[in-house]
Chain A
Amino acid sequence: MMETLQSKSTMESSLLHKTRHSLVKAISLFIGLGLGGSLIAFGNGGKLVASAAEIEAISFALGPTVTRRLTPEQYQRVIRDVFGPTIGIRGRLDPTLRVDGLLEVGAGRISVPPSSMEQYDLIARGIADQVMDEQHRDVLVQCKPISSTAFDEKCAEEFIGTVGRFLFRRPLSQDELSLHVDMARIATATAKNYSTGLSLSLAALLVSPQFLFRHEVLEANPDTSGKYTLDAYSKASRLSFFLWDSAPDGQLLAAAEKGELRTQSGLLRQVNRMVASPRLRDGVRAFFTDMLHLDAVETLTKDTTIYPKFSSAVAKDAREQMLKTIVDVLVTREGDYRDIFTTKKTFLTKKLAAIYQVPITVHVPTGSPDTWRPYEFSANDPRAGILTHLGFLTVHSHPGRSSPTLRGKALREILLCQKVPAPPGDVDFTLVQETDNALLKTARDRLTAHSTEPMCSGCHKIMDPLGLALEKFDGGGTYRTSENGTPIDASGVLDGVAFNDGADLGKAISVNPASISCLVDRLTSYALGRSPVQGEMSWVNELYKTFATGGYAVPALMQEIALSSEFYHASISLGPNYD
């Protein structure tokens, strides 16, 4: 008993030590820079004065900046980065909207409805309470207050200024600092407790618009008159959320503060550092989670009487498997994007291995939480590439049945960026779906026997043949060769490339030009927070070319985007219907 307690406390202190270490490191980075440098108040950094005609001319060539709300994942990561991993998030973080295929684009459209605000407030107070609790206060709050009840202005100012710089992703303006110090003062007096006062002021930073929204400030472009570019801190944020899916670290903020991000060499130095950092994996994972709709796993349920091995834990493993495989190909092995559709290499847990019907040995050393093992499907195994992974197969199926239509739609819309039209109204679907006909044993039989309805067949011809390639995997992702005793035919053709099964389909997708342009289009939209406008298309076309000549390396493409002037140029945000 004694021993257990002791080891627990050792673990906690080591976690704390880590927190302390990273915080001290981070703080030391901007010691000496002070808060009095180039302070930029929210929005007035660029001092924009532009005529309506000027704005119109620019908006044609350049898109607007977009004020994005932090996604739940970004929120969690920023809190972990700033306060350390022992601070928990207690409450519900609401997702953004999916717009033009991406949650990151929806992040630029969503506001904060009252019930989300209530949750932000609850979570913020939870975080602030933990930061001020006995376990963390001494580490995270540098100054010691003069007493527990009296207000210590110097200490409050120091704490709020330090934390606020990370949360607002720039130094607080003098007004902002005074406002939050005043909050702490008033709250201390009301609650008759300094720690409570400081805690509430920290909570206020965490619900303030400057934290929850990534507002971008423009300034006149020093190189090109009449054009605007993001100011240094907005550049730092764009970079950081794009490459790391989190707020800028101390080094990046310092580079912004010193004006280094205004020079191409300074920018290059930071981008190279960030692309080389292990945190690039967070950025790559965040992008592919968004692009591949892996958030759908959160609400995925299967009928466990039909798929007894499936559970919400399996669903989470399935998402992780896809992400691990993608990161392995693209980052670890610095491979070709197209290989994610064909690779035999992956990572499995015992639960996944059971569904894939392959043997893995997971020997977990004492204390290691890692239950993942690398695995390579054999040459004759039907699985290859992410399309044959559970994370794709199960999400785009019904709870108790596969769906060639849903899978085909996902392949078209998610991987090829092609839009499948919505079905028309007043259509009788029993014409195309007749499950109770004993003569129609497979999905292919059912879908083709009734392709006589021209109103339906037009779109189903786009979706179903692709989806049928994956029919040898049922709605729970398990391999099968027949349905109702009849062998499954998974063959088909995509744009002239024939395939015989799911692994083959991966090859056909990987060589399809649309899958390449789709990746570039999604990545640029993800970076900008909106679809590129007409004037930016020449840049996107250039990116197609460099992506191809660079061997379809995604980190290199991200680096290319991060170094492009187009990534930072913008017009003034114009209104809801700019596109």
Chain B
Amino acid sequence: MARNVSRRTLLRGTMGGAAISVGLPFLDCFLNGNGNALASTGSALPPVFGTWLQKLGLNPGMWEPEIVGPNYENNVQLKIWDQFRDRINIFTGLRYFLDGRPLKTHTSGVQIAYTGGIPNGTDGGPSLDSKIADVIGKRSRFRSIEVSIDGSRESASQRSGTSPNPPEKSPVALYQRIFGPQFQDPNAAVFTPDPIVMARQSVLSAVGEHRKSVMPSLGAADRERLDEYFTSIRQIEQQLTIELEKPEPLVACEVPSVPEEATPGTVLSDVETNSNLFAGLLGYAIACGQTQVFNIATGSLNLRQTGSAYTWHMATHEESVDEQLGYQKDVFVFNTWANKTFLNFLRTLDGIREGDGTVLDRALVLWQTDHGDARVHSLTEVPVFTVGSGGGRLKTGIHVAAPGDPVTRVGLTVQRALGVPIRTWGERSNETTRTITEIMA
């Protein structure tokens, strides 16, 4: 009965975009004394990493705090995040470097933010989330989950330039992937390995046998692509291995109800609804041990109010800066909407309690964007934020001013914090060896 109530709560919470508080019975027999570790192994709940791509930036001058260091005070545009201020780091002064290469507007910056460089065609490297997933995500059923909340066809996440991770656009499809028939409830009383899954695993492992005959005949480029293919086959095999093991009990795990289908399109209210639905699904996917890495993209530039021909992107370029206010008013409205949508996402993760903490407590979410000032496609003064400590792996609540430094410093720091064994990150002028020591735990 309690479970049914909480399912409804989840649905209501996700639909209304309000904070979710799930009234779950707290079965602390499964957790250690603090409720933040698995009882059977004593190990802490693993960290979670997520990226949030919000194209078109923020209004310059409206988001940067004045105080540098801890205890900063949010500027006008970020006041809405005050609830989480202690868990948010703000980075100012950062920039993307083109090194003389042509600017692909709304794209080059994202490529640098995610991969550290600007690819020539399809020769780009892995995005930082996939490097992190290879470290922290190996034990979960899905190495990572990509989501597009506005129907755009691309996520910024990629294994390589030839292996972009396509996003899920439909909450129903994502629900089926995670909580469909293959889902193993970690709290189920009885665990029976499915013989069909066992059979599938042996078959897929045999598909891997084709490697020997396929690879030698290929040129270098095709060999790399087929290598990625075989890596993906192995990941599906690993997924099946996990489905065949009795999962660790996770008290916070609750199977949500099937969500409503997404309304496709670019109207703000629809996109917000989708975002809230995806937030609930991802939150419970994490609580149920299904994934530890996610990537969320608002990749479309065409978001708009119902009945308005005026898109966010048009507004950034066509609206004059209000002489009295000193900023673009319509753009400010779009940005405020975006910040509220992100806030709802954080609230959803924070509303799922795990012992004495929440899903957000063990998460580290990296918020990035394409331009500093979208109005002029600038690559300087680019806003970057991190939310959450990744289970104590980063210090939070700090404003770091790093004028003129490459954005990649944040990417390097996040990767190091989550255990990726790298010393440098980025290419050419975007290359850096300097982590942001102010936030290193």
**Which of A37-45, A222-230, A515-523 lines the interface with chain B?**
A37-45
A 87-128 to B, binary, CB cutoff 8 A, 1 in contact else 0: 000001011010100000010011111111110010001000
Q: Report the bound CA distance from A577 to B320 in whole Å.
A: 44
Majority SS at the chain A contact face: loop
The reply to whether B213 and A576 form a contact with Cβ atoms under 8 Å apart is no
The answer on a CB contact under 8 Å between A303 and B307 is: yes
A192 to B168, CA, bound (A): 35
Q: Determine which of A112, A399, A421, A435 lies in contact with B302 in the assembled complex, contact meaning CB atoms within 8 Å.
A: A399
A562 to B58, CA, bound (A): 53
Task: Using A95-B153, A204-B204, A576-B123 as known contacts, say yes or no to A112 and B216 having CB atoms under 8 A apart.
Answer: no
Q: List the B side residues contacting A577 at CB < 8 Å.
A: 123
Let me know if B232 is at the binding interface, CB within 8 A. Answer: yes
Are the C-beta atoms of A209 and B318 separated by less than 8 Å? Answer: no
- Interface residue from A67, A115, A429 paired with B317 (Cβ < 8 Å): A429
Residue with the highest number of chain A CB atoms closer than 10 Å, among B203, B213, B232, B307: B203
Which residue on B lies nearest to A116, using beta carbons?
A: B166
Interface 0/1 of A209-230, CB less than 8 Å to B: 1101101010000000000000
Report the minimal beta-carbon distance from A116 to chain B, rounded to whole angstroms: 6
Is A433 an interface residue when CB atoms closer than 8 A count as contact? Answer: yes
Q: Which of A151-159, A180-188, A243-251, A493-501 contacts B (4 or more CB under 8 A)?
A: A180-188
Docked-complex contact B206 and A204, CB < 8 angstroms: yes
Most buried by B among A111, A112, A116, A212: A111
Asked if B309 and A475 make an inter-chain contact with CB atoms under 8 angstroms apart, the answer reads yes
CB pair A303–B304 under 8 Å, yes or no, is yes
The answer to whether A426 touches B228 (Cβ under 8 A) is no
Q: Which of A99, A301, A572 contacts B219 (CB 8 A)?
A: A572
Residues in A neighbouring B310, C-beta threshold 8 A:
400
A208 within 8 A of B: yes
In this complex, what residue of A is CB-closest to B306? A305
| Segment of B27-35, B98-106, B419-427 engaged in the interface with chain A | B98-106
- Contact residues in A for B379 (Cβ distance below 8 Å): 425-426
A4 interface hit (Cβ, 8 Å): no
Shortest Cβ distance from residue B167 to the other chain A in the assembled complex, whole angstroms:
8
A428 on the B face (CB < 8 A) = yes
Interface check B89, CB cutoff 8 A: no
> Which of B110-118, B194-202, B253-261, B333-341 participates in binding chain A?
B194-202
* Contact between B318 and A121, CB atoms less than 8 A apart: no
Q: Provide the bound-state CA to CA distance between A428 and B318, in Å.
A: 9
Cα(A394)–Cα(B334), bound, Å: 25
Distance in angstroms between the alpha carbons of A116 and B165 in the assembled complex: 8
Q: Tally A-B pairs: CB < 8 A.
A: 251
B375 & A114 in contact (Cβ 8 Å cutoff): no
Q: Is the CB of B377 within 8 A of A301?
A: no
Mark interface residues in A150-180 (1 if CB within 8 Å of B CB, else 0): 0000000000000000000000010110011
Other-chain contact of A116, B198, B232, B375 (Cβ < 8 Å): B232
- Contact string against A for B residues 242-283, beta-carbon threshold 8 Å, 1 for contact and 0 otherwise: 000000000000000000000011110000000000000000
Do B202 and A43 have beta carbons less than 8 Å apart? Answer: no
The answer, yes or no, to whether B311 is at the interface (CB within 8 Å) is yes
Asked whether A427 is an interface residue with its Cβ less than 8 Å from the other chain, the reply is yes
Q: What chain A residues lie within 8 Å of B195 (beta carbons)?
A: 190-192
Q: Which residues of B contact A48 (CB under 8 A)?
A: 217
The answer to whether B302 and A428 have CB atoms under 8 Å apart is no
Contact with A along B293-308 (1 / 0, CB 8 A): 0000000001010111
Most buried by B among A173, A191, A434, A572: A191
B210→A42 contact, CB < 8 A: yes
Q: Knowing A42-B217, A43-B216 touch, does A429 contact B318 (C-beta < 8 A)?
A: yes
Is A398 a contact partner of B311 (Cβ separation < 8 A)?
Answer: yes
B146, CB-defined interface residue at 8 Å: yes
In the complex, which of the residues B202, B218, B309 contacts A186, with contact meaning CB atoms closer than 8 Å? B202
User: Does A325 reach chain B (CB closer than 8 Å)?
Assistant: no
Q: In the complex, which residues of chain A have a beta carbon less than 8 angstroms from the beta carbon of B264?
A: 301, 312
Chain B's closest residue to A571 (CB) is B219
- Contact B226 A183, beta carbon cutoff 8 Å: no
Q: Are B376's CB and A301's CB within 8 A?
A: no
How far does the alpha carbon of A67 sit from the alpha carbon of B266 in the complex, in Å? 36
B292 at the interface (CB under 8 A from A): no
Q: In the bound complex, do residue B228 and residue A111 qualify as a contact, i.e. CB atoms below 8 Å apart?
A: yes
Q: Does B131 contact A (CB under 8 A)?
A: no
**Would you list 21 pairs from A and B whose C-beta atoms are within 8 A, ordered by A residue?**
A42-B213, A109-B161, A110-B122, A111-B159, A113-B228, A117-B229, A117-B233, A190-B199, A196-B199, A208-B207, A210-B210, A215-B214, A215-B218, A301-B302, A303-B309, A400-B304, A400-B308, A425-B376, A426-B376, A427-B377, A434-B318
The 7 closest A-B pairs by CB, nearest first: A400-B309, A43-B217, A573-B219, A429-B317, A117-B232, A305-B307, A111-B228
Interface residues of B (CB under 8 A from A): 98, 102-105, 121-123, 143-146, 151-153, 158-166, 168, 173, 177, 195-196, 198-200, 202-204, 206-207, 209-210, 213-214, 216-222, 224-226, 228-233, 235-236, 239, 264-267, 302, 304, 306-311, 314, 317-320, 375-379
